[in-house]
Amino acid sequence: MRVFAARWLRILLLVASVAALAAEVVVITDAQIAKLAQQFGPVAEERLTAWKDILTNPKYKRLSEQEKLEFVNNFMNQTRFVDDIQHWGKEDYWATPIEFLSTNGGDCEDFSIAKYFTLRALGVPDEKLRITYVKELVIYNQAHMVLAYFPTPDSEPLVLDNINKTIQPASNRTDLLPVYSFNGAGLWLAKEQTGRGQSVGGSDRIGHWRDLQARMRAAM
């Protein structure tokens, strides 16, 4: 998390067009896991092996969407919160799910990105998911990122978060002020706490999404 105004300026430079990438989430190989385990230790091997099982075991795709949300949210929230400066030596770095899990750490963006791509791989439609920037008003009073899930196009979203780890309707999260959200299809300014907001396009923008896409494609 960073100073809210500075983060908002960086948000305006994001790439929002990632639908193709989201549909092609990398399934990590045993050889990759072994290599990363040598670098990061047994926790990396354990976490990556468990994630691979989630992506490849048919039983997880057969779960209901609510069960998928609960399972993925709980799995990813076991990872440590680590600030980008401490973890990566950079002001703002968006880790791929493999980087997030192999290093067993990340900040709010990394939690939300890992949940988004994993749920997409389990068959949750892109239109139901939005990575959402908010301002956290109670604990940190700073910019924060969560993943929002819309059961139907006009329904109130559910919030998947690494601060409050229980999945709750957005109306219950009075500690969060939504600002901006995106997925593989587009970019939206927040309209209200429970609404989808106004589309502002963004398919040709540059920023962290492009860097993330490049690193994920390189791992394929």
Which residues on adjacent β-strands are paired with residue 148?
Answer: 130, 159
CATH at 84: 3.10.620.30
User: Are 115 and 76 spatial neighbours (Cβ–Cβ below 8 Å)?
Assistant: yes
Most confident of the ranges 6-15, 68-77, 95-104: 68-77
Torsion sign over Cα 140, 142, 146, 149: positive
> What are the structure tokens assigned to 197, written together?
């907001």
User: Are 160 and 145 spatial neighbours (Cβ–Cβ below 8 Å)?
Assistant: no
Asked whether the predicted pLDDT for residue 19 surpasses 60, the reply is no
d(CA 25, CA 122): 10
**Host domain of residue 214:** 4-218
Confidence at residue 203, expressed as pLDDT on a 0 to 100 scale: 38
Most confident of the ranges 19-28, 107-116, 179-188: 107-116
Q: How many domains in the chain?
A: 1
pTM of the model: 0.82
